[in-house]
A and B are shown apart, each in its own frame.
Chain A
Amino acid sequence: MVIWIILLAMTAAAVMAVLWPLSRHYAVGRQGDPDTQFYREQMAEIERDQARGVLLPSEAEAAKAEAGRRLLRATGMQGEAFAAVGEPALRRRRAASTLALSVIPILALATYEIYGSPQLLAEPPGVQMQQRAGSLDLMSAVAQIESHLAQNPQDGRGWEVIAPVYLRMGRAEDAARAYEAAIRYLGPEANRLANYGEVLVLAKDGLVSAQAQAAFEEALKLEPALPKPRFYLARAAAQDGHADKARAAYAELLSASPADAPWTEAVKQELAALGEPQPAAGQQGEPQIGADDIARMVSGLANRLEAQGGTADEWARLMRSYAVLGQRDKAVAAAQRARQALSQDDAALKTIDTMAQELKLTDAQP
């Protein structure tokens, strides 16, 4: 409310600045002709100079003659008298006043309406102050942690705490450095590696660099089901031009996640961006994917595992997919290929066995 009064007062003052001279009486003949005055002063100046001895008499004479010639000409050119009184002058004043009274407020309000943010005028001043106080607290907390870390650079916990704060302050590169230090001092851990990879990606404006990819792969090795690295690795595939691979990986991630997981939206968006018909959410929140899609996804996974190998979980998922599709023989074959591929890894073999048991693939037993 107060602000509207202020704006109104500003407008009134602006209009008054124009109305004030229009309302004054004008004293006729207030100002002499400036030209003749100028040359008169010039001649007086020449005389003063001559008196001070700066000009020689002959010089002064010549200069005075020249100024006199110009004075004569100026007198001859003296203009018409000012037209400040009479009916036309009065009409002009009224027109100018109307112009000022209308143009200034209307133009100012219209311009402000278009480009300003009048809705912010009502904002209680407290909100901003609180916000600023909050950000000040944050700043001093950051400064404290920073100085602590400068003295104890081996405090991995500290680095881990400050990293997400850096990220929120828009300092992605510092966040990456902090995670790097956290990994160095606290050891690699799947979530930590995934977060590290993520800030590397954010620092590069969404590009998954080789460094970030390595971090994600490391994280997956430690915890194969972690969605974040799988998501970014899928994006890496898309960025490398392997759209099919990316699609399969996203679909896989989608099918392996609960329907209400926070990342499903992002995954669906990425899938849509890849040009795949976006799997619309079903009524129960179940993705409705056509059988063809599933078949293609599964074969994509199978091809990848065949060509590049994979983790036990991926093999297990392939087995389950075949089972779901009712292709038991293929599931059995997949179990066998998995055992061959993972023969060095007891834990992995156990995962495969568990899955085989779960799917009752009795004929797939070794």
Chain B
Amino acid sequence: MLVEAGHFALALALGLSLIQFVVPLWGARANDPVLMAVAPTSALAVLGCLAFSFLALTFAYVSSDFSVLNVLQNSHSAKPLIYKISGVWGNHEGSMLLWVLILALFGGVVAVSRNTIPMRLQANTLAVQAAVTIAFLLFILTTSNPFTRVVPAPAEGQDLNPLLQDPGLAIHPPLLYIGYVGFSISFAFACAALIDGRIDAVWARIVRPWTLGAWAFLTLGIAMGSYWAYYELGWGGWWFWDPVENASLMPWLAGTALMHSTVVMEKRDALKVWTILLAILTFSLSLLGTFLVRSGVLTSVHSFAVDPERGTFILGILILFIGGSLALFAWRAPMLRQGGLFAPVSREGALVLNNLFLATACATVFIGTLYPLALEVLTGEKISVGAPFFNFTFLPLIVPLLLLLPLGQTLAWKRGNFLGTAQRLYAVFGLSLVATVAMFAFTYDGPVAAPIGVGLGVYLILGSLNEIVTRSWSKGNSLAVAWRKASGLPRSAWGTSIAHAGVGLTVIGIAATAWGVEGLGTLKTGERLKAGAYEARLERVVPRVEANYREDAATLTIFRNGQELGTVDSMKRLYVTRGMPTTEAGIMTVGLGQVYASLGEIQPDGSVGVMLYHKPLVLLIWLGSVVMAAGGALSLTDRRLRIGAPVRAKVGPAAPVPAE
């Protein structure tokens, strides 16, 4: 009964979205505030309907109502409660429902922030948002309905894909979706501005928090997905350049660029056309990611929806929104007024460079991900573009960007002085160089790339902190004064520094993987396996039976240089309902590094294949991402208006160039 009410709420949301699309647009055209006022209330009503619908589905999962096909296919009465709940979005239909729910949630927040968003912009934005909602509601109702019933109801369900029965994957999709869908707001704002024909600093100020929030969630979502792949897939890798991962990386790169260009637009009223285009492209890449993952064009863990009908539908949505928004852009963008001017060497100039590098890197990933697909469609030939391609194309674009990062952060707005800026970074250069050389001396016969990478990371962290130090401390001032000045700095400045330092942490973590060591072997009880300074001794292998799986659990004692550190359990599981095996790596965290043990085949004589890795500083990869997201969040709490204070050129006026 509740399930049917939830289904009806979904249908109601469709009708409401149609009203939310038509009436506010009409109101904005006729300049009628009464019609425009329909936008927020209907957006909130859509949110209410979808939230009810989602709760009804969740209730069906929690109460194991197998008369719902979706529950039958993805749940099991013996599953722990948390996986019953996460099972709601652990499948295609439910995750699409979560997708529109988050879309409506963002719409709802736009609806209640009536004091910060001008009425006309709000009405147009919510109308564009409603158009996206309509498309996805139709998609859900016609091709991926989570409320399809089975009569009579079977006694037991078919269980959730065991790979997804994991706390990491329980929260990964919501985080990722908040990121993906958050960019829909930037997109809706961009389209609304184009419809209205007014784009200025006010627009940028309104959009910036949305972009920043979406970006922070997407960062966390990607990091969580990467950590999950690291510990669940049992290969010890943290990034595989898998098309599904790339699908989330592309909007992240575009979103990072958008976040930076919005700052330029807000402070200096420049880069308008480019910012609008980026907002459109970022959400388009989010849609593309949804298409790649949901249509089943890729064969990977995530493609649980292999259905051409769905693929075609999402492709249609993709074409409609990308094509529609780009057409709107082509029509309206030439009418935009050019904004502030700036010299090539300035903060703006550096941010343009940042955007160029990020956009090119994004394009590289785009080609590497879609070229094999296009080739397969056109010629039927199957090629695989793997890590080597991305290492050769992506890294050369990202490393110069990282090298320029502290410089750009130090440059002044409007007109900068390159030499002066470089002078302010002398200490940073020096310290980083010392760190690199010291690292070389310390590990003189190790891999060459690692110390250089760590040096780059140190340079990024010091460069970010340097910004705070030079802005608050000058020679002769006491520390107390410096501290007061530093704490008086806007939170966005702190946020920037922290986020950039997070990039440095991640870079160090990635570089340090080159120092990782591994050992492979088949062990009998009591035998030992070596990986660098670490050793593992197989204590026992015990079979265990749990509610919905059985496993062979191997207990390994870990030693460092012969000294015992403790034990880890590494498991090989078989989920009985689906007959699907999984591996659970045994992980011991030592400082910021980890000892990682994963089981291979269990031989008939009782010996076990064991892979043992030592990964120094590996946690920094994800900690860095968390720090980045925290920086974004801190910046988000800064409600101050941003101003762009130009510095007068001291030596001759540099020729200002137009922004676009």
- Our verdict on whether A and B bind, yes or no, reads yes
A residues within 8 Å of B by Cβ? 3, 6-7, 10-11, 13-14, 17-18, 20-22, 24, 26, 31, 34-35, 38, 41-42, 45-46, 49, 52-55, 58-60, 62-63, 66-67, 70, 74, 77, 80-84, 88-89, 92-93, 96, 99-100, 103-109, 111-112, 115-118, 120-121, 123, 125, 128, 131-132, 134-136, 138-139, 146, 150, 168-171, 173-174
Known pairs A35-B202, A132-B63 / 12 extra A-B pairs, C-beta < 8 Å? A20-B41, A21-B34, A21-B41, A83-B30, A92-B26, A92-B35, A104-B18, A116-B4, A116-B7, A116-B11, A117-B4, A170-B577
Contact A169-B155, Cβ < 8 Å, known A35-B200, A38-B201, A45-B641? yes
Q: Does B644 contact A (CB under 8 A)?
A: yes
Q: Does B489 contact A (CB under 8 A)?
A: yes
Q: Are B34 and A22 in contact (CB under 8 A)?
A: yes
Closest Cβ neighbor of A82 among chain B residues: B33
Q: Are A66 and B11 in contact (CB under 8 A)?
A: no
Q: Are A59 and B1 in contact (CB under 8 A)?
A: no
- What distance in Å separates the Cβ of A361 from its nearest Cβ neighbour in chain B? 54
- What distance in Å separates the Cβ of A122 from its nearest Cβ neighbour in chain B? 9
Q: Does B269 contact A (CB under 8 A)?
A: yes
Which residue in B12, B63, B147 is a CB contact (below 8 Å) of A104? B12
Report the Cα distance A138→B45, complex, angstroms.
43
Q: What 1/0 flags go to B180-214 for Cβ under 8 Å of A? A: 00000000000000000010111001000000000
Q: Are B12 and A10 in contact (CB under 8 A)?
A: yes
Which residue in B41, B63, B65, B489 is a CB contact (below 8 Å) of A18? B41
Listed by A's residue number, 18 A-B pairs whose Cβ atoms lie within 8 Å are: A31-B119, A38-B201, A45-B643, A62-B645, A67-B643, A82-B33, A93-B34, A96-B38, A108-B8, A112-B11, A115-B147, A116-B147, A121-B1, A131-B155, A134-B155, A139-B78, A146-B545, A168-B155
Q: Does B647 contact A (CB under 8 A)?
A: yes
Q: Does B604 contact A (CB under 8 A)?
A: no
User: What residues of A have a CB within 8 angstroms of the CB of B23 in the complex?
Assistant: 18, 96, 99-100
Q: Does B579 contact A (CB under 8 A)?
A: yes
Report the Cα distance A92→B26, complex, angstroms.
9
B residues within 8 Å of A by Cβ? 1, 3-5, 7-9, 11-12, 14-16, 18-19, 22-23, 26-27, 30-35, 37-38, 40-42, 44-45, 48-49, 63-65, 67, 77-78, 118-119, 141-142, 145, 147-149, 151-153, 155-156, 158, 198, 200-202, 205, 269, 340, 485, 488-490, 545, 576-577, 579, 640-641, 643-648
- What distance in Å separates the Cβ of A63 from its nearest Cβ neighbour in chain B? 4
Q: Are B4 and A104 in contact (CB under 8 A)?
A: no
Which residue in A66, A89, A134 is a CB contact (below 8 Å) of B646? A66
User: What residues of A have a CB within 8 angstroms of the CB of B35 in the complex?
Assistant: 22, 92-93, 96
Report the Cα distance A22→B33, complex, angstroms.
10
Report the Cα distance A40→B520, complex, angstroms.
68
User: What residues of A have a CB within 8 angstroms of the CB of B65 in the complex?
Assistant: 128
- What distance in Å separates the Cβ of A280 from its nearest Cβ neighbour in chain B? 32
Contact A38-B11, Cβ < 8 Å, known A52-B488, A120-B151, A169-B155? no
User: What residues of B have a CB within 8 angstroms of the CB of A59 in the complex?
Assistant: 645-647
Report the Cα distance A106→B1, complex, angstroms.
21
Report, nearest first, the 6 A-B pairs whose CB atoms are least far apart: A17-B45, A107-B15, A111-B11, A104-B15, A63-B645, A21-B37
Report the Cα distance A58→B650, complex, angstroms.
13
Q: Are B32 and A84 in contact (CB under 8 A)?
A: yes
Q: Are B576 and A174 in contact (CB under 8 A)?
A: yes
User: What residues of A have a CB within 8 angstroms of the CB of B32 in the complex?
Assistant: 82-84, 89, 92
User: What residues of A have a CB within 8 angstroms of the CB of B8 in the complex?
Assistant: 7, 10, 108, 112, 116
Report the Cα distance A67→B118, complex, angstroms.
20
User: What residues of A have a CB within 8 angstroms of the CB of B12 in the complex?
Assistant: 10-11, 14, 104, 108
Q: Are B11 and A22 in contact (CB under 8 A)?
A: no
Report the Cα distance A6→B645, complex, angstroms.
59
- Looking at chain A's contact residues, the main secondary structure is helix
Contact A3-B34, Cβ < 8 Å, known A112-B7, A128-B65, A139-B77? no
User: What residues of B have a CB within 8 angstroms of the CB of A107 in the complex?
Assistant: 11, 14-15, 18
Contact A58-B16, Cβ < 8 Å, known A18-B41, A116-B4? no
- What distance in Å separates the Cβ of B339 from its nearest Cβ neighbour in chain A? 9
User: What residues of A have a CB within 8 angstroms of the CB of B153 in the complex?
Assistant: 128, 131
User: What residues of B have a CB within 8 angstroms of the CB of A21 in the complex?
Assistant: 34, 37-38, 40-41
Contact A84-B33, Cβ < 8 Å, known A46-B643, A120-B149? yes
Closest Cβ neighbor of B489 among chain A residues: A54
Which residue in B30, B152, B156 is a CB contact (below 8 Å) of A170? B156
Report the Cα distance A138→B78, complex, angstroms.
12
Report the Cα distance A128→B68, complex, angstroms.
12
Closest Cβ neighbor of B120 among chain A residues: A79
User: What residues of B have a CB within 8 angstroms of the CB of A20 in the complex?
Assistant: 41
- What distance in Å separates the Cβ of A149 from its nearest Cβ neighbour in chain B? 11
User: What residues of A have a CB within 8 angstroms of the CB of B647 in the complex?
Assistant: 59, 62
Q: Are B141 and A115 in contact (CB under 8 A)?
A: yes
Report the Cα distance A24→B32, complex, angstroms.
13
User: What residues of B have a CB within 8 angstroms of the CB of A11 in the complex?
Assistant: 12
Q: Are A105 and B155 in contact (CB under 8 A)?
A: no
Contact A103-B145, Cβ < 8 Å, known A96-B35, A108-B12? no
Contact A173-B45, Cβ < 8 Å, known A92-B35, A108-B14, A111-B141? no
User: What residues of B have a CB within 8 angstroms of the CB of A38 in the complex?
Assistant: 201-202, 205, 641
Q: Are A120 and B34 in contact (CB under 8 A)?
A: no
Closest Cβ neighbor of A50 among chain B residues: B645
Closest Cβ neighbor of A138 among chain B residues: B155
- What distance in Å separates the Cβ of A72 from its nearest Cβ neighbour in chain B? 13
Q: Are B31 and A58 in contact (CB under 8 A)?
A: no
Closest Cβ neighbor of A11 among chain B residues: B12
Q: Are A42 and B643 in contact (CB under 8 A)?
A: yes
User: What residues of A have a CB within 8 angstroms of the CB of B63 in the complex?
Assistant: 132
Report the Cα distance A120→B205, complex, angstroms.
50
Contact A125-B1, Cβ < 8 Å, known A21-B34, A62-B645? yes
User: What residues of A have a CB within 8 angstroms of the CB of B205 in the complex?
Assistant: 38
User: What residues of B have a CB within 8 angstroms of the CB of A24 in the complex?
Assistant: 34, 37
- What distance in Å separates the Cβ of B7 from its nearest Cβ neighbour in chain A? 5
- What distance in Å separates the Cβ of B274 from its nearest Cβ neighbour in chain A? 19
User: What residues of B have a CB within 8 angstroms of the CB of A103 in the complex?
Assistant: 15, 18-19
Q: Are A6 and B5 in contact (CB under 8 A)?
A: yes
User: What residues of B have a CB within 8 angstroms of the CB of A171 in the complex?
Assistant: 576-577
User: What residues of B have a CB within 8 angstroms of the CB of A120 in the complex?
Assistant: 1, 3-4, 67, 149, 151
- What distance in Å separates the Cβ of B39 from its nearest Cβ neighbour in chain A? 9
User: What residues of A have a CB within 8 angstroms of the CB of B576 in the complex?
Assistant: 171, 173-174
Most A C-beta atoms less than 10 A away, residue of B38, B198, B269: B38
- What distance in Å separates the Cβ of B485 from its nearest Cβ neighbour in chain A? 8
- What distance in Å separates the Cβ of B417 from its nearest Cβ neighbour in chain A? 15
Which residue in B4, B30, B155, B201 is a CB contact (below 8 Å) of A3? B4
Report the Cα distance A93→B30, complex, angstroms.
12
Which residue in B19, B40, B45 is a CB contact (below 8 Å) of A99? B19
Q: Are A66 and B156 in contact (CB under 8 A)?
A: no
Contact A170-B34, Cβ < 8 Å, known A7-B8, A62-B646, A112-B7? no
Report the Cα distance A129→B579, complex, angstroms.
29
Q: Are A41 and B641 in contact (CB under 8 A)?
A: yes
Q: Are B14 and A66 in contact (CB under 8 A)?
A: no
Q: Are B14 and A117 in contact (CB under 8 A)?
A: no
Most A C-beta atoms less than 10 A away, residue of B3, B14, B22, B32: B32
Contact A63-B5, Cβ < 8 Å, known A89-B32, A170-B158? no
Report the Cα distance A182→B329, complex, angstroms.
72
Which residue in A6, A74, A100, A135 is a CB contact (below 8 Å) of B155? A135
User: What residues of A have a CB within 8 angstroms of the CB of B155 in the complex?
Assistant: 131, 134-135, 138, 168-169
Report the Cα distance A135→B31, complex, angstroms.
61
